[in-house]
């Protein structure tokens, strides 16, 4: 990783008033202790800075004087909330609450985010690369609008001959993907987003599911021309997710260039061929869908 001078680092942002700076803080998955939060407040007070909570689950100290930057960065490091990233690098990895708190979650999104952040945060890239994780298709983190997105999914199925046809699940399905015909559940596979709400709603526990899986997308973006990321692969384990993300990051590093955002150059840098190569390299039993 190339060494940067302090003023070159992505976490240091020049403000509209060029005599002042904003300092972005690294807070993986937005998880912070009360002590660290208090520490950020004390640092802000000491250097007469303001505090801004960002959309990427981080915080920023704003109106920082350039002559205070080194002291601020050292204080943040000591507080366990070090300098963040903003330029052509992998920035703060974001995640929803996951199975730690959310009843709709399919996996531990925070643990995955912390692992990916530890491995990839701050890696020098030709473009800015964001990784976001939602543990279910409710997509609270808008992960499909990020360069790399991971969504938790689960495929429902019913046990034949045991369904009573009560229709409870049809009232919970937000996609109108379930219908009761002649007392039998009919699932519209094309409409189903694999959120698992029907599974939890069944009063007789007749609707079951495959183990939760990880749906990976590449090439999403927000901004003035938002775009949904393309489906890359859906896999069964966090270990395979880690392998896929490593391959995607390396591919972006080798093939992308800085004049365009990733979604605007996917075709030019061979996304489809790359995707096929990665899928073919994975153990078949790990792939839920190609």
Domain 156-209 part of CATH 3.30.70.20: yes
Given the candidates 3.40.50.300, 3.40.50.10490, 3.30.413.10, 3.60.130.10, the CATH classification of the domain at 94-154+212-289 is 3.30.413.10
pLDDT at 1: 46
CB under 8 Å, gap of 24 or more: what pairs does 34-43 form? 36/79, 36/80, 36/81, 39/79, 39/80, 39/81, 40/76, 40/79, 40/81, 43/72, 43/75, 43/76, 43/79
> Per residue of the chain (290 residues), what is the pLDDT tens digit?
445 566 666 799 999 999 999 999 999 999 999 999 999 999 999 999 999 999 999 999 999 999 999 999 999 999 999 999 988 999 999 999 999 999 999 999 999 999 999 999 999 999 999 999 999 999 999 999 999 999 999 998 877 778 888 889 999 999 999 998 887 888 898 999 999 999 989 988 888 888 999 999 999 999 899 999 999 999 999 999 999 999 999 999 999 998 899 999 999 999 999 999 999 999 999 999 64
User: Residues 6 or more apart from 274 whose CB is under 8 A from it?
Assistant: 251, 255
Q: How far apart are the first and last CA of the chain?
A: 33
What is the per-residue DSSP string for the chain? -----GGGSTTEEE-SSTT-EEEEB--GGG---HHHHHHHHHHHHHTT-EEEE-TTS-EEEEEE-GGGHHHHHHHHHHTT--B---SSBB---EE--GGGT-TT--S-HHHHHHHHHHHHTT-B-SS-B-EEEESSTT-TT-GGGSSEEEEEE--EEE-TTT-----HHHHH-TT--EEEETTEEEE-TTT-----HHHHH-TT--EEEPPPEEEEEE--B-TTS-BPPEEEEEES-HHHHHHHHHHHHHHHHHH--TTS-GGGTTTTTTHHHHHHHHHHHS-GGGEEE-
In the chain, list all ranges with CATH 3.90.480.10. 6-78
pLDDT by residue (tens digit) across 236-273? Answer: 999 999 999 999 999 999 999 988 999 999 999 999 99
Closest CA to 136 of 151, 156, 155: 151
In the chain, list all ranges with CATH 3.30.413.10. 94-154+212-289
pLDDT at 67: 94
Closest CA to 209 of 150, 288, 133: 288
pLDDT at 271: 97
pLDDT by residue (tens digit) across 175-191? Answer: 999 998 887 888 898 99
pLDDT at 83: 95
In the chain, list all ranges with CATH 3.30.70.20. 156-209
Closest CA to 253 of 10, 1, 11: 1
Given the candidates 3.40.50.620, 3.90.480.10, 3.30.465.10, 3.40.710.10, the CATH classification of the domain at 6-78 is 3.90.480.10
């Amino acid at each position: 990783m190339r060494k940067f001078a302090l003023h070159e680092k992505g976490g240091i942002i020049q403000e509209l008033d060029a005599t002042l700076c904003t300092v972005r803080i690294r807070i993986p998955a937005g998880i912070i202790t009360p002590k660290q939060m208090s520490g950020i407040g004390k640092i802000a007070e000491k250097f007469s800075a303001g505090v801004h909570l960002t959309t990427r689950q981080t915080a920023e100290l704003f109106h920082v004087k350039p002559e205070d930057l080194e002291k601020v960065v050292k204080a943040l490091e000591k507080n366990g909330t070090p300098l963040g990233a903003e330029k052509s690098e992998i920035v703060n990895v974001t995640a929803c609450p996951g199975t730690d708190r959310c009843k709709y979650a399919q996996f531990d999104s925070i643990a995955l985010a912390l692992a990916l952040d530890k491995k990839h945060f701050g890696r020098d890239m030709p473009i800015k690369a964001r990784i976001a994780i939602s543990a279910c298709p409710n997509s609270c983190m808008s992960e499909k609008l990020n360069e790399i997105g991971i969504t938790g999914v689960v495929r429902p199925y019913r046990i034949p001959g045991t369904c009573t046809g009560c229709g409870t699940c049809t009232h919970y399905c937000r996609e109108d993907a379930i219908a009761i015909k002649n007392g039998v559940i009919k699932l519209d596979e094309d409409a189903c987003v694999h959120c698992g709400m029907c599974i939890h709603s069944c009063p007789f526990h007749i609707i079951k599911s495959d183990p939760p899986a990880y749906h990976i997308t590449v090439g999403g973006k927000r901004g003035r021309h938002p775009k949904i990321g393309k489906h890359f692969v859906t896999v069964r384990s966090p270990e395979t997710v880690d392998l896929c993300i490593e391959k995607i990051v390396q591919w972006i590093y080798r093939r992308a260039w800085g004049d365009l955002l990733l979604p605007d150059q996917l075709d030019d840098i061979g996304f489809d061929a790359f995707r096929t190569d990665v899928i073919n390299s994975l153990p078949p039993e790990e792939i839920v869908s190609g």
